[in-house]
Amino acid sequence: MAIVLAIETSCDETAVAVVNDRVCCSSVVASQIPIHQKYGGIVPEVASRCHVETLNDAIAQALAEANIDWEAIDGVAATCAPGLVGALLVGFTAAKSLALVRNKPFLGVHHLEGHIYASYLSELDLEPPFICLLVSGGHTSLIYVKDCGYYETLGETRDDAAGEAFDKVARLLQLGYPGGPIIDKLAKEGNPLAFPLPEGKVSLAGGGYHPYDSSFSGLKTAVLRLVQKLQQEHSQLPVNDLAASFQETVAKALTKRAIACALNYGVNTIAVGGGVAANSGLRSHLQAAAKERHLRVIFPPLKYCTDNAAMIGCAAADHLNRGHTSPLTLGVQSRLSLTKVMQLYQHESAG
């Protein structure tokens, strides 16, 4: 059993949580969305400054809500990669300092491993192996989860992440930021079959298509061309139909690839993570396809799908239980492959 105080500041949420293995004792998330909204996207320098301003209060609040004092805490963790370097540094430096001052083990956590662990917070019986479909503003990955710290990325996007595609299409339809929730809402009023759009297959050098990789930049361009054409023909854009058709294309593409991974790797569970897990089109397509194939599909509660520190704490607790801790010389990295997670830790036995 390990109780961990975890900090997540890799992007635009200042988040702090206290987690006891798979049980979330408190989870504070201070979103910066309203601040970035006026710029139409995240401004890295603004994000870092907001983290500095918000973090101390968030730590105090997380400790108070968990009703826990420092003696009971077994370790301090923070996201160390991937993410915006300036933003990561704020939470990471705070966590290191707290670990040093309170004489607790320190753990750097890979942000995507955190997203994988969001499923453990809601499904207490979940055990690897399973497939994680991670779809957020920065990532679109299909991950084969073998064990704590051991992952294989089976599929990725070759260009835009799924959430980024939602945000960009929303911007070109002048719907505001973040685009995913707005497109999802409008799509409910539209016809998903109104406009056929390309799903973004990735060609292989030897012919055929990559079974798990995706590409959303062509889809975004196809929506742009369609919008330009429709603007010439009509005085008013059929925004609901455009939103529904775009969402349908993304949802079907992700579902097809996730199901293929599960079947080809012989696992019976698909766990979804990241902000796009909120998408109603993805939920209904994936749930229906999984049911047909007798697969279990897990959509953790939204509070654990979008960026939060509970998922970071849950991953850190599992590592800590296995004797994994990070050296205080560890740094932050803007990019880091999931296959390198174990490089973040030294084993207890190694001294």
Binding site for Zn ion (CB under 5 A): 136, 307
* One residue of 40, 44, 181, 218 binding ligand KG4 per CB under 6 A: 181
Q: Which is nearer to ligand KG4, 95 or 162 (CB)?
A: 162
Q: Provide the minimum distance between the beta carbon of 67 and ligand KG4 in the complex, in angstroms, as a whole number.
A: 28
DSSP secondary structure of 94-124: HHHHHHHHHT--EEEEEHHHHHHHHHHHH-T
Interface of this chain with ligand KG4, residues 237 to 266, rule: CB under 6 A: none
**Residues with Cβ within 8 Å of residue 292, at least 6 apart in sequence:** none
Sequence-separated (6 or more) residues with CB below 8 Å from residue 203: 209, 210
Tokens (6 digits) for 44: 């890295």
- Report the C-alpha gap between 174 and 193 in whole angstroms: 22
Q: Is the peptide bond before 34 cis (omega within 30 degrees of 0)?
A: no
* 8 Å CB contact between 134 and 200: no
Judged on CB neighbours under 10 Å (0-12, 13-18, 19+), 351 is exposed
Q: Which does 306 bind (CB under 5 to 8 A by kind): ligand KG4, Zn ion, none?
A: ligand KG4
Among 66, 276, 336, 341, binds ligand KG4 (CB under 6 A): 276
Q: Which helix (H) or strand (E) holds 141?
A: strand 140-147
Dist. CA 161–CA 273, nearest whole Å: 13
Which does residue 241 touch among Zn ion, ligand KG4, none (CB within 5 to 8 A, set by kind)? none
Nearest residue by C-beta to ligand KG4? 180
Q: Contacting ligand KG4 (CB under 6 A), which of 108, 274, 300, 313?
A: 274
Packing angle of the helix pair 239-264, 162-172 (nearest 10 deg): 170
Q: Interface residues for ligand KG4 in 124-143 (CB under 6 A)?
A: 136-138
Q: Which is nearer to ligand KG4, 308 or 325 (CB)?
A: 308
Q: How far is the CB of 349 from ligand KG4 (least distance, A)?
A: 34
Q: Is 200 in the site for ligand KG4 (CB under 6 A)?
A: no
Given candidates 86, 105, 155, 179, which one binds ligand KG4 under the rule CB under 6 A?
A: 179
Tokens, residue 323:
């004797």
How many whole angstroms separate alpha carbon 5 and alpha carbon 194? Answer: 49
Q: Which of 200, 275, 300, 313 is the binder for ligand KG4 (CB under 6 A)? A: 275
Q: Which of residues 139-178 bind ligand KG4 (CB under 6 A)?
A: 163-164, 166-167, 178
279 binds, among ligand KG4, Zn ion, none (CB under 5 to 8 A by kind): ligand KG4
The distance of closest approach from Cβ of residue 153 to Zn ion in the complex, given in angstroms and rounded to an integer, is: 15
Provide DSSP, 212-259: S-B--HHHHHHHHHHHHHHHHH-SS--HHHHHHHHHHHHHHHHHHHHH
Q: What mask, x for binding ligand KG4 by CB under 6 A, covers residues 295 to 324?
A: -----------xx-----------------
Q: Which residues contact 25 (CB under 8 A, 6 or more apart)?
A: 3, 17, 18, 19, 65, 66, 67, 68
Q: Which is nearer to ligand KG4, 31 or 346 (CB)?
A: 31
Total binding residues toward ligand KG4, as defined by CB under 6 A: 20
CB of residue 103 to ligand KG4, shortest distance in Å:
32
Task: Give the interface with ligand KG4 as residue ranges (CB under 6 A).
Answer: 11, 136-138, 163-164, 166-167, 178-181, 184, 274-276, 278-279, 306-307
